[in-house]
Structure 1
Amino acid sequence: MRFAVQWVRSLLFVAQMYVMLPVVGLVYMPAAIVSRKGALAGCKAYCRWVRWTAAWMVGLRTEVRGTPPDGQVLIASKHQSFLDILLIFSELPTGRFIMKREILWTPVIGLYGMRIGCVAVDRGKRGAAIKKMVEDVARGAQTPGQLIIYAQGTRVAPGVKMPYKIGTAVLYEQMGVSCVPAATNVGVLWPKRGIYRKPGLAVVEFLPPIPQGLDRNSFMARLEHDIEGASNALMREAGFDPEQPARK
């Protein structure tokens, strides 16, 4: 019975969340068209709305730990569900994402993604995709803010092992800035797929920066070590053992 009630609450939460996406988007549309600042304001308003409604509708509280960077920096994060996107973005002054090119054609999200300076990439051959990503980032170098990339390239459910993509190291080298890793446990409570949302505390944690100048292998080793170690600790805190058999 308790599961059924929580599932219904989750359904209502998810429904209103998707209804409010175009509503908030349309309210801020004039400001978003005029300036990047307006687009950022609209995105942050939606992040706040989802975090607030998640807390009282399904008992899913959210917290961001560590120090969100505020300068020119690369942020490499673990990605478990839509919620970590909202938590990371809500705490950054001028964040922008490396995102799939298909998202550009998504109503509302595509427009706002372009307006805040996101970099759209194709999922083609790895070498060509990385080259194009670096070129696109270089062209948008004048856009101030924090560039966010998901280090494994896609959403990864809790307990699932997936390699870290070399594209993060390429950007780290090309941009010549420090990299802030970010860990999360959100997938334990807000899954990669499905309606059900668990009550509890979902966390994104900004970790100590990795300074600029490491060689590629050293950077990748430290990035994976830091993110996986912190994410595993956060998942255990949320009641999930990341070493148990994976559930995709």
Structure 2
Amino acid sequence: MIQWLRSLFFNFQIYVVIALTGIVMFPYALVSRNGARKACLFVCNWVRWTAPWMVGLKTEIRGTPPKGEALIVAKHQSFLDVFLIFGALPAGKFIMKRILMYSPIVGQYGMRIGCVPVDRGKRGAAIKKMVSDVEKGAADPGQLIIYAQGTRIAPGVKAPYKVGSAVLYKQLEQTVYPVATNVGLFWPKRGILRKPGLAVVEFLDPIEPGMDQDAFLAHLEDVVETASNNLMREAGFDPDAPVTE
């Protein structure tokens, strides 16, 4: 019960900080994309700073995040990996669900930092438009982040890898940085409780352009799932045990 109450307060203060930061920084964000990015980075750092002493949740970034243009293809287990991945990159931007455009503060800042909204079920058409925008120079350079399975997947649950990352890999011809994680063990996709422990996001060895699309997707799934399973075992969770969402 004590951990649940601590988690409730932790979650509440995050929403308060997001709202206050969004309002205070809005004039700067309105005239400068860099201002919007600084506001988002502040929130990411705030979450990492408050999590250990509020709920006992430490975080760690492993591997080497890219500094230049790259495609980040990550496993998604909870909102914590959003904070950790974005906070580790100099110019990150997400492929996000279009409905998030209409979320107060989150939607406006997402668009200001260059996130690409896509319709669920129309992802292929949206990716083609995004590729076209990039080729025309309409999109700012940076690290484009896409979640390999398209949504949050609870630890131990199996879900297919979507073709979107493979399409981007082929058409953008950028180096891909796979990202593994175990954050869902401590910050579940649903519920209030946040558990103590060490949540890790790991940037894996880059995948250079040139692979066949199907071979890329198979290799991506193998390396991300293997690394994520290892991180979960390190935290004391057996990813091969039967799990129900």
The TM-score, its normalising length taken from structure 2, stands at 0.97
Q: 2:129 maps to what in 1?
A: 135
Q: 2:119 maps to what in 1?
A: 122
Alignment of 1:244 onto 2:245:
no
SS of equivalent to 1:76:
strand
CA distance in 1, matches of 2:132, 2:19: 31
Please state how far the C-alpha of 1:227 moved relative to its aligned partner: 0.2
User: How many residues are matched?
Assistant: 242
CA distance in 1, matches of 2:81, 2:128: 24
C-alpha contact (below 8 Å) 1:88/1:204 kept by paired residues: yes
Aligned-residue RMSD, C-alpha: 0.9
CA distance in 2, matches of 1:247, 1:138: 40
**Alignment-mate amino acid for residue 123 of structure 2:** A
**Alignment-mate amino acid for residue 230 of structure 1:** A
Given candidates 215, 218, 226, the residue that maps to 1:218 is 215
Please state how far the C-alpha of 1:169 moved relative to its aligned partner: 0.3
**Alignment-mate amino acid for residue 126 of structure 2:** K
Q: 1:34 maps to what in 2?
A: 31
Please state how far the C-alpha of 1:31 moved relative to its aligned partner: 1.1
CA distance in 1, matches of 2:198, 2:187: 10
C-alpha contact (below 8 Å) 1:119/1:137 kept by paired residues: no
Q: 2:229 maps to what in 1?
A: 232
CA distance in 2, matches of 1:209, 1:134: 23
Please state how far the C-alpha of 1:140 moved relative to its aligned partner: 4.1
C-alpha contact (below 8 Å) 1:134/1:174 kept by paired residues: no
Deviation sequence 1:76-104 (CA, Å, 0-9, x none): 00000000000000010000000000000
**Alignment-mate amino acid for residue 14 of structure 2:** M
C-alpha contact (below 8 Å) 2:131/2:171 kept by paired residues: no
Given candidates 181, 206, 214, the residue that maps to 1:209 is 206
Name structure 2 gaps, 5 residues minimum: none
Alignment of 1:47 onto 2:47:
no
Please state how far the C-alpha of 1:18 moved relative to its aligned partner: 1.1
CA distance in 1, matches of 2:123, 2:39: 30
Q: 1:197 maps to what in 2?
A: 194
CA distance in 2, matches of 1:247, 1:129: 27
Please state how far the C-alpha of 1:110 moved relative to its aligned partner: 0.5
Alignment of 1:102-181 (within 5 A): 102-124=99-121, 128-140=122-134, 142=137, 143-181=140-178
Please state how far the C-alpha of 1:60 moved relative to its aligned partner: 0.3
What's the % identity of the aligned pairs?
60
Q: 1:84 maps to what in 2?
A: 81
The TM-score, its normalising length taken from structure 1, stands at 0.95
CA distance in 2, matches of 1:91, 1:205: 11
SS of equivalent to 1:154:
coil
Alignment of 1:5-20 (within 5 A): 5-20=2-17
SS of equivalent to 1:220:
helix
SS of equivalent to 2:144:
strand
**Alignment-mate amino acid for residue 41 of structure 1:** K
